[in-house]
Amino acid sequence: MFERERTPTEIRILGIATYIQTSSTRRTAKILSEFHPVSHTAIWKWIKKLEEKLPVSTEKKRRNLIAIDETVVKANKKHYYVYSAVDVERNELILMKVYPTRNWLVTRSFVKEVLNYCENKPKFVIDKAPWLKKALESLNLEFEYERFREKKLS
């Protein structure tokens, strides 16, 4: 998706997720400066590139199938967990968030936030991560398993 490698992929992923949470390229650049120098213009370009491939949809809609995944990203020798939710049928990114830890409580919180963008209770597609399964079960949500990809980025 990204042509040049001036900024490490991990930083770009953190940048996109942070921008989606803050809606501010300047605030995102300030946060990322702790890890790697990056301009707010670069962040804006990353977002535009992402939206060409995977549009971001923040409106409440009837959704039938949502894929949830989390990726481990390492920056400054720390691990961060980037959760994302995609409407499979529409190929739209619903939500993307960064967390300093990964467990069923964090996952449950993320799923509850995803449900704010749904008019109904959709079915979820997850990998076999126990925290994903436990979070969906605790909310009485239907799910199925599918292996997405290799998780760790390094």
pLDDT in tens, 22-39: 888 999 899 888 888 899
What is the structure's pLDDT at 2?
Answer: 46
The answer for residues whose C-beta is within 8 angstroms of residue 115's C-beta and 6 or more apart is 121, 139
Q: What is the pLDDT of residues 11-23, one digit of tens each?
A: 888 888 888 888 8
Beta strand pairing call for 78-87 and 123-126? unpaired
- Percentage, residues of the chain above pLDDT 90: 54
Selection from 141, 144, 152, 109 nearest residue 127 by Cα: 144
Contact indicator for 136, 126 with CB cutoff of 8 Å: yes
Contact indicator for 60, 114 with CB cutoff of 8 Å: no
Instruction: Give CA–CA dist 121/51, Å, rounded.
Output: 26
Residue with tokens 């990726």: 71
The two three-digit tokens of residue 86, written as one number? 């995609």
Q: What is the pLDDT of residues 57-112, one digit of tens each?
A: 888 999 999 999 999 998 888 899 999 999 999 999 999 999 999 999 999 999 99
The answer for residues whose C-beta is within 8 angstroms of residue 116's C-beta and 6 or more apart is 60
Neighbour tally for 131: CB within 10 Å: 17
The two three-digit tokens of residue 97, written as one number? 């968030």
- Quick one: CA dihedral 7, 8, 11, 12, positive or negative? positive
The two three-digit tokens of residue 16, written as one number? 């996109």
